[in-house]
Amino acid sequence: MPSISPREHTFLLLVGVLGILTLASAIGFALKTVVARGEPHSTIDNLNSRVKAWWWMAAVIGLALGAGKDGVILLFAFASFVALREYATIAPGRRGDHWALLTSFFVVLPFQYFLVWLEWYGFFSIFIPVYAFLVLPMVAVTASDNRNFMQRAATLQWGLMITTFCISHVPALMTLEIPGYEGRNAFLIVYLVLVVQLSDVFQYVWGKLFGKRKIAPEVSPSKTVEGFVGGVASAVVAGACLWWITPFTPAQSALIALLITILGFLGGLVMSAIKRDRGVKDWGTLIEGHGGVLDRLDSVCFSAPIFFHVVRYWWTP
Amino acid sequence: MAFLSDAIATGLTVFTRLVTGAQARWIGCGPQAKQRVYFGNHSSHADFALIWASLPSDLRVRTRPVAGADYWGQGRIRKYLIHEVLRGVLVDRVPAGSGSGERALDKLLAALDGGDSLIIFPEGTRNTTDEILLPFKSGLYHLAKERRDVEFVPVWLENLGRVLPKGEIIPLPLLCSINFGTPMRLNGEEPKAAFLDRSRKALLDLAQFARPK
Protein backbone atom coordinates (compact mmCIF):
# COMPACT_ATOMS: atom_id res chain seq x y z
CA MET A 1 0.00 0.00 0.00
CA PRO A 2 0.94 3.65 -0.32
CA SER A 3 4.37 4.67 0.74
CA ILE A 4 3.31 8.25 1.33
CA SER A 5 2.14 9.32 4.79
CA PRO A 6 -1.37 10.46 5.83
CA ARG A 7 0.03 13.95 6.15
CA GLU A 8 1.05 13.97 2.50
CA HIS A 9 -2.33 12.48 1.58
CA THR A 10 -4.06 15.32 3.36
CA PHE A 11 -1.85 17.87 1.65
CA LEU A 12 -2.51 16.41 -1.83
CA LEU A 13 -6.27 16.21 -1.20
CA LEU A 14 -6.32 19.78 0.04
CA VAL A 15 -4.50 20.97 -3.06
CA GLY A 16 -6.87 18.96 -5.23
CA VAL A 17 -10.06 20.24 -3.61
CA LEU A 18 -8.87 23.85 -3.47
CA GLY A 19 -7.79 23.53 -7.10
CA ILE A 20 -11.21 22.25 -8.22
CA LEU A 21 -13.02 24.96 -6.24
CA THR A 22 -10.76 27.69 -7.59
CA LEU A 23 -11.31 26.40 -11.11
CA ALA A 24 -15.07 26.32 -10.54
CA SER A 25 -15.05 29.86 -9.17
CA ALA A 26 -12.97 31.04 -12.14
CA ILE A 27 -15.37 29.40 -14.64
CA GLY A 28 -18.33 30.91 -12.78
CA PHE A 29 -16.72 34.34 -12.88
CA ALA A 30 -15.89 34.01 -16.59
CA LEU A 31 -19.44 32.94 -17.44
CA LYS A 32 -20.84 35.82 -15.42
CA THR A 33 -18.66 38.41 -17.19
CA VAL A 34 -18.53 36.97 -20.72
CA VAL A 35 -21.86 35.19 -21.23
CA ALA A 36 -24.12 37.08 -18.81
CA ARG A 37 -22.15 40.37 -19.17
CA GLY A 38 -22.75 41.08 -15.50
CA GLU A 39 -26.53 40.96 -16.00
CA PRO A 40 -28.75 38.69 -13.90
CA HIS A 41 -28.84 35.18 -15.41
CA SER A 42 -30.71 32.48 -13.51
CA THR A 43 -28.54 29.48 -14.45
CA ILE A 44 -25.19 31.23 -14.09
CA ASP A 45 -26.17 32.99 -10.87
CA ASN A 46 -27.36 29.70 -9.45
CA LEU A 47 -24.08 28.07 -10.51
CA ASN A 48 -22.14 30.79 -8.74
CA SER A 49 -24.11 30.53 -5.52
CA ARG A 50 -23.65 26.76 -5.66
CA VAL A 51 -19.88 27.16 -6.02
CA LYS A 52 -19.82 29.67 -3.19
CA ALA A 53 -21.76 27.26 -0.96
CA TRP A 54 -19.27 24.53 -1.92
CA TRP A 55 -16.42 26.62 -0.51
CA TRP A 56 -18.30 26.81 2.79
CA MET A 57 -19.16 23.12 2.79
CA ALA A 58 -15.58 22.13 1.99
CA ALA A 59 -14.32 24.37 4.81
CA VAL A 60 -16.79 22.95 7.33
CA ILE A 61 -16.10 19.33 6.37
CA GLY A 62 -12.36 20.02 6.36
CA LEU A 63 -12.49 21.50 9.86
CA ALA A 64 -14.59 18.62 11.18
CA LEU A 65 -12.21 16.04 9.69
CA GLY A 66 -9.29 17.96 11.17
CA ALA A 67 -10.95 17.71 14.59
CA GLY A 68 -11.05 13.91 14.27
CA LYS A 69 -13.75 11.44 15.29
CA ASP A 70 -15.58 13.81 17.67
CA GLY A 71 -15.66 16.60 15.11
CA VAL A 72 -16.99 14.31 12.38
CA ILE A 73 -19.68 12.89 14.67
CA LEU A 74 -20.78 16.38 15.73
CA LEU A 75 -20.92 17.61 12.13
CA PHE A 76 -23.05 14.72 10.88
CA ALA A 77 -25.25 14.79 14.00
CA PHE A 78 -25.96 18.41 13.17
CA ALA A 79 -26.57 17.54 9.52
CA SER A 80 -29.01 14.83 10.62
CA PHE A 81 -30.80 17.25 12.90
CA VAL A 82 -31.29 19.78 10.12
CA ALA A 83 -32.28 17.02 7.68
CA LEU A 84 -34.86 15.59 10.10
CA ARG A 85 -36.17 19.10 10.62
CA GLU A 86 -36.58 19.59 6.88
CA TYR A 87 -38.22 16.19 6.56
CA ALA A 88 -40.63 16.69 9.46
CA THR A 89 -41.56 20.12 8.13
CA ILE A 90 -42.66 18.72 4.79
CA ALA A 91 -44.05 15.37 5.96
CA PRO A 92 -47.74 15.32 6.83
CA GLY A 93 -48.36 15.19 10.55
CA ARG A 94 -50.94 15.85 13.20
CA ARG A 95 -50.98 17.43 16.61
CA GLY A 96 -50.91 13.93 18.12
CA ASP A 97 -47.37 13.44 16.77
CA HIS A 98 -45.90 16.15 18.96
CA TRP A 99 -44.30 13.89 21.56
CA ALA A 100 -43.19 11.24 19.07
CA LEU A 101 -41.43 13.98 17.10
CA LEU A 102 -39.91 15.51 20.23
CA THR A 103 -38.60 12.04 21.14
CA SER A 104 -37.11 11.66 17.67
CA PHE A 105 -35.34 15.01 17.70
CA PHE A 106 -34.10 15.08 21.26
CA VAL A 107 -33.69 11.43 22.27
CA VAL A 108 -33.38 9.10 19.27
CA LEU A 109 -31.12 11.30 17.14
CA PRO A 110 -28.57 12.20 19.86
CA PHE A 111 -28.55 8.63 21.14
CA GLN A 112 -27.84 7.20 17.68
CA TYR A 113 -24.76 9.43 17.39
CA PHE A 114 -23.76 8.59 20.95
CA LEU A 115 -23.75 4.92 19.89
CA VAL A 116 -21.51 5.80 16.95
CA TRP A 117 -19.21 7.56 19.38
CA LEU A 118 -19.17 4.49 21.64
CA GLU A 119 -18.33 2.44 18.54
CA TRP A 120 -20.99 -0.04 19.63
CA TYR A 121 -21.72 -1.47 16.19
CA GLY A 122 -24.20 -4.13 17.38
CA PHE A 123 -26.53 -1.62 19.00
CA PHE A 124 -25.89 1.24 16.59
CA SER A 125 -27.12 -0.84 13.66
CA ILE A 126 -30.40 -1.91 15.25
CA PHE A 127 -31.30 0.97 17.55
CA ILE A 128 -33.50 2.87 15.06
CA PRO A 129 -34.81 -0.08 12.98
CA VAL A 130 -35.84 -2.00 16.12
CA TYR A 131 -36.08 0.16 19.24
CA ALA A 132 -37.21 3.47 17.73
CA PHE A 133 -39.57 1.51 15.49
CA LEU A 134 -41.26 -0.03 18.52
CA VAL A 135 -41.17 2.86 20.94
CA LEU A 136 -42.22 5.82 18.76
CA PRO A 137 -45.72 4.50 17.95
CA MET A 138 -46.10 3.77 21.67
CA VAL A 139 -45.33 7.40 22.42
CA ALA A 140 -47.67 8.55 19.65
CA VAL A 141 -50.56 6.39 20.85
CA THR A 142 -50.63 8.20 24.20
CA ALA A 143 -52.04 11.21 22.33
CA SER A 144 -55.24 9.19 21.64
CA ASP A 145 -55.41 10.40 18.05
CA ASN A 146 -56.27 7.49 15.73
CA ARG A 147 -56.56 9.40 12.48
CA ASN A 148 -54.09 8.06 9.85
CA PHE A 149 -52.19 6.40 12.67
CA MET A 150 -50.40 3.85 10.51
CA GLN A 151 -49.30 6.42 7.93
CA ARG A 152 -48.06 8.77 10.64
CA ALA A 153 -46.06 6.06 12.40
CA ALA A 154 -44.54 4.88 9.11
CA THR A 155 -43.75 8.41 7.96
CA LEU A 156 -41.81 9.19 11.11
CA GLN A 157 -39.95 5.89 11.10
CA TRP A 158 -38.98 6.33 7.47
CA GLY A 159 -37.76 9.86 8.13
CA LEU A 160 -35.56 8.70 11.00
CA MET A 161 -34.12 5.92 8.86
CA ILE A 162 -33.15 8.31 6.07
CA THR A 163 -32.10 11.39 7.99
CA THR A 164 -30.55 9.82 11.06
CA PHE A 165 -29.81 6.12 10.63
CA CYS A 166 -28.42 6.41 7.09
CA ILE A 167 -26.47 9.63 7.61
CA SER A 168 -24.93 8.28 10.84
CA HIS A 169 -23.16 5.65 8.73
CA VAL A 170 -20.84 8.35 7.41
CA PRO A 171 -19.17 9.14 10.76
CA ALA A 172 -19.40 5.42 11.61
CA LEU A 173 -16.73 4.90 8.93
CA MET A 174 -14.32 6.40 11.49
CA THR A 175 -14.86 3.38 13.74
CA LEU A 176 -13.92 0.60 11.30
CA GLU A 177 -10.66 -1.20 12.06
CA ILE A 178 -8.99 -1.95 8.75
CA PRO A 179 -5.59 -3.71 9.03
CA GLY A 180 -2.81 -1.60 7.52
CA TYR A 181 -5.10 1.44 7.26
CA GLU A 182 -4.94 2.64 10.88
CA GLY A 183 -5.32 6.37 11.42
CA ARG A 184 -6.61 6.94 7.89
CA ASN A 185 -10.34 6.26 8.24
CA ALA A 186 -11.14 9.94 7.70
CA PHE A 187 -10.05 9.38 4.08
CA LEU A 188 -12.90 6.88 3.64
CA ILE A 189 -15.29 9.72 4.44
CA VAL A 190 -13.47 12.01 2.03
CA TYR A 191 -13.67 9.31 -0.64
CA LEU A 192 -17.41 8.70 -0.11
CA VAL A 193 -18.33 12.39 0.03
CA LEU A 194 -16.11 13.30 -2.94
CA VAL A 195 -17.37 10.50 -5.19
CA VAL A 196 -21.05 11.05 -4.38
CA GLN A 197 -20.87 14.82 -4.64
CA LEU A 198 -18.65 14.80 -7.75
CA SER A 199 -21.21 12.49 -9.31
CA ASP A 200 -23.96 15.04 -8.55
CA VAL A 201 -21.81 17.87 -9.91
CA PHE A 202 -20.81 15.94 -13.05
CA GLN A 203 -24.44 14.95 -13.67
CA TYR A 204 -25.40 18.60 -13.36
CA VAL A 205 -22.64 19.74 -15.73
CA TRP A 206 -23.17 16.97 -18.33
CA GLY A 207 -26.91 17.52 -18.12
CA LYS A 208 -26.60 21.29 -18.61
CA LEU A 209 -24.18 20.90 -21.53
CA PHE A 210 -25.55 17.89 -23.42
CA GLY A 211 -28.79 16.90 -21.69
CA LYS A 212 -31.63 16.10 -24.12
CA ARG A 213 -33.57 12.99 -23.18
CA LYS A 214 -35.25 13.20 -19.80
CA ILE A 215 -34.63 10.12 -17.70
CA ALA A 216 -37.55 10.44 -15.24
CA PRO A 217 -39.67 13.43 -16.31
CA GLU A 218 -42.42 12.78 -13.78
CA VAL A 219 -40.08 12.50 -10.83
CA SER A 220 -37.17 14.82 -11.57
CA PRO A 221 -37.59 16.91 -14.73
CA SER A 222 -34.01 18.20 -14.66
CA LYS A 223 -32.33 14.79 -14.80
CA THR A 224 -31.34 13.53 -18.26
CA VAL A 225 -29.90 10.33 -19.71
CA GLU A 226 -26.85 12.26 -20.94
CA GLY A 227 -26.33 13.77 -17.48
CA PHE A 228 -26.68 10.40 -15.81
CA VAL A 229 -24.30 8.49 -18.08
CA GLY A 230 -21.72 11.27 -18.27
CA GLY A 231 -21.96 11.98 -14.56
CA VAL A 232 -21.64 8.39 -13.42
CA ALA A 233 -18.78 7.68 -15.84
CA SER A 234 -16.86 10.78 -14.71
CA ALA A 235 -17.44 9.96 -11.06
CA VAL A 236 -16.22 6.40 -11.57
CA VAL A 237 -13.03 7.74 -13.17
CA ALA A 238 -12.64 10.19 -10.29
CA GLY A 239 -13.23 7.38 -7.80
CA ALA A 240 -10.62 5.18 -9.47
CA CYS A 241 -8.15 8.07 -9.39
CA LEU A 242 -8.69 8.39 -5.65
CA TRP A 243 -7.69 4.77 -4.93
CA TRP A 244 -4.51 5.92 -3.18
CA ILE A 245 -6.44 7.39 -0.23
CA THR A 246 -8.44 4.16 0.24
CA PRO A 247 -7.64 0.59 1.21
CA PHE A 248 -8.86 -0.47 -2.29
CA THR A 249 -7.00 -1.26 -5.52
CA PRO A 250 -7.75 1.08 -8.46
CA ALA A 251 -10.15 -1.48 -9.99
CA GLN A 252 -11.97 -2.04 -6.69
CA SER A 253 -12.12 1.69 -6.19
CA ALA A 254 -13.78 2.15 -9.60
CA LEU A 255 -16.28 -0.62 -8.91
CA ILE A 256 -17.21 0.80 -5.50
CA ALA A 257 -17.53 4.27 -7.03
CA LEU A 258 -19.92 2.81 -9.62
CA LEU A 259 -21.98 1.21 -6.86
CA ILE A 260 -22.28 4.34 -4.74
CA THR A 261 -23.00 6.67 -7.64
CA ILE A 262 -25.84 4.48 -8.90
CA LEU A 263 -27.24 4.18 -5.38
CA GLY A 264 -26.89 7.92 -4.99
CA PHE A 265 -28.67 8.61 -8.27
CA LEU A 266 -31.60 6.33 -7.46
CA GLY A 267 -31.74 7.69 -3.91
CA GLY A 268 -31.89 11.20 -5.32
CA LEU A 269 -34.88 10.14 -7.42
CA VAL A 270 -36.62 8.68 -4.37
CA MET A 271 -36.20 11.91 -2.43
CA SER A 272 -37.34 13.86 -5.47
CA ALA A 273 -40.53 11.79 -5.67
CA ILE A 274 -41.31 12.71 -2.05
CA LYS A 275 -40.73 16.40 -2.73
CA ARG A 276 -42.98 16.32 -5.76
CA ASP A 277 -45.68 14.45 -3.94
CA ARG A 278 -45.62 17.08 -1.19
CA GLY A 279 -45.56 19.92 -3.74
CA VAL A 280 -42.20 21.46 -2.89
CA LYS A 281 -39.12 22.05 -5.02
CA ASP A 282 -36.46 22.01 -2.32
CA TRP A 283 -36.26 20.55 1.15
CA GLY A 284 -35.12 23.78 2.71
CA THR A 285 -33.19 27.00 2.21
CA LEU A 286 -30.12 26.57 4.40
CA ILE A 287 -27.56 26.12 1.61
CA GLU A 288 -27.81 28.91 -0.91
CA GLY A 289 -28.19 27.70 -4.49
CA HIS A 290 -28.61 24.07 -3.42
CA GLY A 291 -31.74 24.21 -1.26
CA GLY A 292 -31.76 22.37 2.04
CA VAL A 293 -29.31 19.99 3.68
CA LEU A 294 -31.41 17.06 2.42
CA ASP A 295 -31.10 18.34 -1.16
CA ARG A 296 -27.33 18.05 -0.77
CA LEU A 297 -27.27 14.82 1.23
CA ASP A 298 -30.05 12.85 -0.49
CA SER A 299 -27.60 10.75 -2.50
CA VAL A 300 -25.30 10.31 0.53
CA CYS A 301 -28.24 8.94 2.56
CA PHE A 302 -28.74 6.08 0.17
CA SER A 303 -25.10 5.24 -0.49
CA ALA A 304 -23.49 5.64 2.96
CA PRO A 305 -24.92 2.51 4.66
CA ILE A 306 -24.10 0.27 1.68
CA PHE A 307 -20.60 1.71 1.38
CA PHE A 308 -20.14 1.15 5.12
CA HIS A 309 -21.19 -2.48 4.85
CA VAL A 310 -19.10 -3.19 1.75
CA VAL A 311 -16.00 -1.89 3.51
CA ARG A 312 -16.87 -3.60 6.78
CA TYR A 313 -17.56 -6.96 5.11
CA TRP A 314 -14.56 -7.19 2.81
CA TRP A 315 -11.91 -5.03 4.47
CA THR A 316 -12.23 -5.68 8.19
CA PRO A 317 -11.31 -9.00 9.76
CA MET B 1 -35.29 48.23 33.49
CA ALA B 2 -35.64 49.42 29.91
CA PHE B 3 -32.28 47.81 29.27
CA LEU B 4 -33.52 44.49 30.65
CA SER B 5 -36.70 44.45 28.59
CA ASP B 6 -34.68 45.30 25.45
CA ALA B 7 -32.31 42.43 26.21
CA ILE B 8 -35.24 40.05 26.71
CA ALA B 9 -36.82 41.28 23.49
CA THR B 10 -33.61 40.57 21.59
CA GLY B 11 -33.25 37.18 23.26
CA LEU B 12 -36.83 36.28 22.41
CA THR B 13 -36.30 37.32 18.80
CA VAL B 14 -33.14 35.26 18.41
CA PHE B 15 -34.66 32.25 20.18
CA THR B 16 -37.82 32.34 18.08
CA ARG B 17 -35.85 32.61 14.87
CA LEU B 18 -33.58 29.71 15.82
CA VAL B 19 -36.33 27.36 16.96
CA THR B 20 -38.63 28.06 14.05
CA GLY B 21 -35.94 28.56 11.41
CA ALA B 22 -38.28 31.41 10.62
CA GLN B 23 -38.16 32.69 7.12
CA ALA B 24 -39.89 36.00 6.46
CA ARG B 25 -41.25 36.20 2.92
CA TRP B 26 -42.42 39.62 1.86
CA ILE B 27 -44.68 38.58 -0.97
CA GLY B 28 -47.21 41.37 -1.41
CA CYS B 29 -45.30 44.24 0.19
CA GLY B 30 -41.93 45.14 1.68
CA PRO B 31 -40.95 45.84 5.29
CA GLN B 32 -41.71 49.57 4.96
CA ALA B 33 -42.11 52.00 7.80
CA LYS B 34 -45.84 52.55 7.18
CA GLN B 35 -48.56 52.38 9.74
CA ARG B 36 -50.10 48.95 9.40
CA VAL B 37 -52.36 46.40 10.96
CA TYR B 38 -50.83 42.95 10.43
CA PHE B 39 -53.57 40.35 10.66
CA GLY B 40 -52.64 36.67 10.80
CA ASN B 41 -53.86 33.16 11.43
CA HIS B 42 -53.62 32.13 15.06
CA SER B 43 -52.58 28.63 16.03
CA SER B 44 -49.97 29.05 18.74
CA HIS B 45 -48.77 31.30 21.53
CA ALA B 46 -45.60 31.81 19.57
CA ASP B 47 -47.54 33.51 16.77
CA PHE B 48 -47.07 37.12 17.61
CA ALA B 49 -43.57 36.56 18.87
CA LEU B 50 -42.79 35.24 15.41
CA ILE B 51 -44.42 38.03 13.39
CA TRP B 52 -42.79 40.44 15.75
CA ALA B 53 -39.38 38.74 15.45
CA SER B 54 -39.54 38.77 11.68
CA LEU B 55 -39.95 42.54 11.44
CA PRO B 56 -36.80 44.65 11.07
CA SER B 57 -35.88 46.12 14.46
CA ASP B 58 -36.85 49.68 13.57
CA LEU B 59 -40.38 48.53 12.68
CA ARG B 60 -40.54 46.13 15.61
CA VAL B 61 -40.29 48.85 18.24
CA ARG B 62 -43.30 50.57 16.67
CA THR B 63 -45.44 47.45 16.35
CA ARG B 64 -47.67 46.21 19.18
CA PRO B 65 -49.38 42.81 19.42
CA VAL B 66 -53.04 42.72 20.45
CA ALA B 67 -53.57 40.01 23.04
CA GLY B 68 -56.34 38.57 25.19
CA ALA B 69 -56.38 40.04 28.71
CA ASP B 70 -57.73 36.75 30.13
CA TYR B 71 -54.46 34.97 29.31
CA TRP B 72 -51.81 37.67 29.34
CA GLY B 73 -53.17 39.59 32.31
CA GLN B 74 -52.38 36.69 34.63
CA GLY B 75 -49.14 36.03 36.49
CA ARG B 76 -46.12 38.29 36.90
CA ILE B 77 -44.02 36.81 34.11
CA ARG B 78 -46.75 37.00 31.49
CA LYS B 79 -47.63 40.53 32.57
CA TYR B 80 -44.01 41.60 32.41
CA LEU B 81 -43.56 40.03 28.97
CA ILE B 82 -46.68 41.50 27.44
CA HIS B 83 -46.32 44.99 28.93
CA GLU B 84 -42.59 45.64 29.09
CA VAL B 85 -41.15 43.41 26.38
CA LEU B 86 -43.79 43.06 23.70
CA ARG B 87 -45.62 46.32 24.52
CA GLY B 88 -48.91 44.52 23.87
CA VAL B 89 -52.38 46.02 23.83
CA LEU B 90 -54.57 43.89 26.11
CA VAL B 91 -58.25 43.52 25.29
CA ASP B 92 -61.08 41.60 26.93
CA ARG B 93 -62.39 38.69 24.93
CA VAL B 94 -66.11 38.63 25.67
CA PRO B 95 -69.23 37.87 23.66
CA ALA B 96 -70.34 40.61 21.27
CA GLY B 97 -73.00 43.06 22.44
CA SER B 98 -71.79 43.29 26.04
CA GLY B 99 -70.34 46.74 25.48
CA SER B 100 -66.72 45.76 26.09
CA GLY B 101 -66.20 45.31 22.34
CA GLU B 102 -66.38 49.08 21.99
CA ARG B 103 -63.91 49.56 24.82
CA ALA B 104 -61.49 47.12 23.14
CA LEU B 105 -61.86 48.99 19.86
CA ASP B 106 -61.12 52.29 21.60
CA LYS B 107 -57.89 50.85 23.00
CA LEU B 108 -56.77 49.72 19.55
CA LEU B 109 -57.67 53.04 17.95
CA ALA B 110 -55.74 54.83 20.69
CA ALA B 111 -52.69 52.67 19.94
CA LEU B 112 -52.97 53.51 16.24
CA ASP B 113 -53.36 57.20 17.04
CA GLY B 114 -50.15 56.92 19.04
CA GLY B 115 -48.46 56.11 15.71
CA ASP B 116 -47.90 52.40 16.34
CA SER B 117 -48.71 49.47 14.07
CA LEU B 118 -50.69 46.50 15.39
CA ILE B 119 -50.57 42.71 15.12
CA ILE B 120 -53.99 41.13 15.49
CA PHE B 121 -55.49 37.69 15.08
CA PRO B 122 -59.03 38.17 13.77
CA GLU B 123 -60.04 34.57 14.45
CA GLY B 124 -60.19 35.71 18.08
CA THR B 125 -58.69 32.56 19.52
CA ARG B 126 -56.10 29.96 18.65
CA ASN B 127 -57.28 27.58 15.99
CA THR B 128 -56.96 24.01 17.25
CA THR B 129 -59.42 22.50 14.80
CA ASP B 130 -58.74 20.80 11.50
CA GLU B 131 -60.13 23.87 9.72
CA ILE B 132 -57.45 25.87 7.98
CA LEU B 133 -58.87 29.21 9.18
CA LEU B 134 -61.75 30.06 11.53
CA PRO B 135 -64.32 32.78 10.72
CA PHE B 136 -63.16 36.33 11.49
CA LYS B 137 -64.49 38.45 14.35
CA SER B 138 -65.69 41.88 13.34
CA GLY B 139 -62.97 43.93 15.08
CA LEU B 140 -60.88 44.01 11.92
CA TYR B 141 -63.74 45.69 10.02
CA HIS B 142 -64.30 48.33 12.69
CA LEU B 143 -60.60 49.18 12.72
CA ALA B 144 -60.56 49.49 8.93
CA LYS B 145 -63.66 51.67 9.00
CA GLU B 146 -62.35 54.02 11.65
CA ARG B 147 -58.79 54.37 10.30
CA ARG B 148 -58.97 54.33 6.52
CA ASP B 149 -55.36 55.44 5.92
CA VAL B 150 -53.87 52.43 7.73
CA GLU B 151 -52.73 49.47 5.60
CA PHE B 152 -54.13 46.05 6.50
CA VAL B 153 -51.53 43.39 5.73
CA PRO B 154 -52.46 39.68 5.73
CA VAL B 155 -49.78 37.50 7.37
CA TRP B 156 -49.90 33.74 6.93
CA LEU B 157 -47.93 31.78 9.51
CA GLU B 158 -47.10 28.38 8.11
CA ASN B 159 -46.44 25.44 10.45
CA LEU B 160 -46.41 27.34 13.73
CA GLY B 161 -49.38 25.39 15.00
CA ARG B 162 -47.26 22.28 14.72
CA VAL B 163 -44.24 23.82 16.46
CA LEU B 164 -46.16 24.61 19.63
CA PRO B 165 -49.71 23.24 19.61
CA LYS B 166 -52.17 24.43 22.23
CA GLY B 167 -51.37 22.92 25.61
CA GLU B 168 -47.77 21.91 24.81
CA ILE B 169 -44.75 23.60 26.34
CA ILE B 170 -41.77 22.13 24.47
CA PRO B 171 -41.52 23.49 20.92
CA LEU B 172 -40.68 21.21 18.00
CA PRO B 173 -37.82 22.48 15.85
CA LEU B 174 -39.78 22.53 12.57
CA LEU B 175 -39.19 25.13 9.88
CA CYS B 176 -41.77 27.91 9.75
CA SER B 177 -42.42 30.70 7.36
CA ILE B 178 -44.08 34.07 7.78
CA ASN B 179 -45.72 35.26 4.59
CA PHE B 180 -46.66 38.89 4.20
CA GLY B 181 -49.38 39.54 1.60
CA THR B 182 -50.67 42.53 -0.30
CA PRO B 183 -51.89 45.46 1.86
CA MET B 184 -55.64 46.17 1.69
CA ARG B 185 -58.08 48.84 2.88
CA LEU B 186 -61.82 49.20 3.27
CA ASN B 187 -63.39 50.15 -0.07
CA GLY B 188 -65.77 53.11 0.23
CA GLU B 189 -69.01 51.90 1.76
CA GLU B 190 -68.01 48.22 1.67
CA PRO B 191 -70.28 46.31 4.07
CA LYS B 192 -68.88 44.47 7.08
CA ALA B 193 -69.50 40.96 5.78
CA ALA B 194 -67.90 41.75 2.43
CA PHE B 195 -64.76 43.19 3.99
CA LEU B 196 -64.37 40.34 6.46
CA ASP B 197 -64.88 37.90 3.62
CA ARG B 198 -62.35 39.64 1.43
CA SER B 199 -59.70 39.84 4.16
CA ARG B 200 -60.23 36.21 5.12
CA LYS B 201 -59.89 35.20 1.49
CA ALA B 202 -56.68 37.23 1.17
CA LEU B 203 -55.23 35.22 4.02
CA LEU B 204 -56.37 31.91 2.53
CA ASP B 205 -54.88 32.81 -0.85
CA LEU B 206 -51.61 33.52 0.88
CA ALA B 207 -51.84 30.12 2.58
CA GLN B 208 -52.27 28.45 -0.79
CA PHE B 209 -49.16 30.20 -1.94
CA ALA B 210 -47.13 29.38 1.16
CA ARG B 211 -47.85 25.76 1.88
CA PRO B 212 -47.06 22.59 0.00
CA LYS B 213 -50.14 21.17 -1.71
**pLDDT digit string (tens) for B38-86?**
999 988 777 878 888 888 888 888 999 988 888 888 888 888 888 888 8
Nearest to B20, CA basis, from B67, B69, B71, B54 = B54
Predicted TM-score (pTM) of the model is: 0.84
How confident is residue B129, by pLDDT bands cut at 50, 70 and 90?
confident
Cβ pair A280:B165 closer than 8 A? no
Measure the CA–CA gap between A236 and A257, rounded to whole angstroms. Answer: 5
Residue of B nearest to A90 (CA): B212
Q: How far is B120 from chain A (nearest CA, A)?
A: 24
Per-residue model confidence (pLDDT) at position B53:
83
Per-residue model confidence (pLDDT) at position B70:
82
What are the residues whose beta carbons fall under 8 Å from the beta carbon of A217, sequence distance 6 or more? Answer: none
In whole angstroms, how far apart are CA A216 and each of A221, A224, A229, A272?
Answer: 6, 8, 14, 10
Cβ pair B128:A95 closer than 8 A? yes
Task: State the best of B162, B176, B177 to mutate against chain A, taking most chain A CBs within 10 Å.
Answer: B162
Mean predicted confidence (pLDDT) in A121-139: 96
Share of chain B above pLDDT 70, in %: 94
Q: How far is B70 from chain A (nearest CA, A)?
A: 25
Domain boundaries, chain B: 2-210
Which of residues 238 through 267 in chain A touch B, CB cutoff 8 A? none
How confident is residue A185, by pLDDT bands cut at 50, 70 and 90?
very high
pLDDT mean across residues, chain A: 92
Residue of A nearest to B161 (CA): A95
Cβ pair B172:A279 closer than 8 A? no
Nearest to B194, CA basis, from B143, B119, B136 = B136
Q: Which of chain B's residues have a Cβ under 8 Å away from the Cβ of A98?
A: 162, 165, 168, 172
What are the residues whose beta carbons fall under 8 Å from the beta carbon of B143, sequence distance 6 or more? Answer: B37, B105, B108, B109, B112, B118, B120, B150, B152
pLDDT > 80? residue B213:
no
Mean predicted confidence (pLDDT) in A246-270: 96
For chain A, the C-alpha Rg in angstroms (whole number) is 20
ipTM: 0.77
Task: State the best of A85, A86, A89, A103 to mutate against chain B, taking most chain B CBs within 10 Å.
Answer: A89
Most distant pair of Cα atoms in chain B: their distance: 47
pLDDT > 50? residue B191:
yes
CATH number corresponding to B2-210: 3.40.1130.10
Mean predicted confidence (pLDDT) in B138-166: 88
Q: Do you know the residue count of chain A?
A: 317
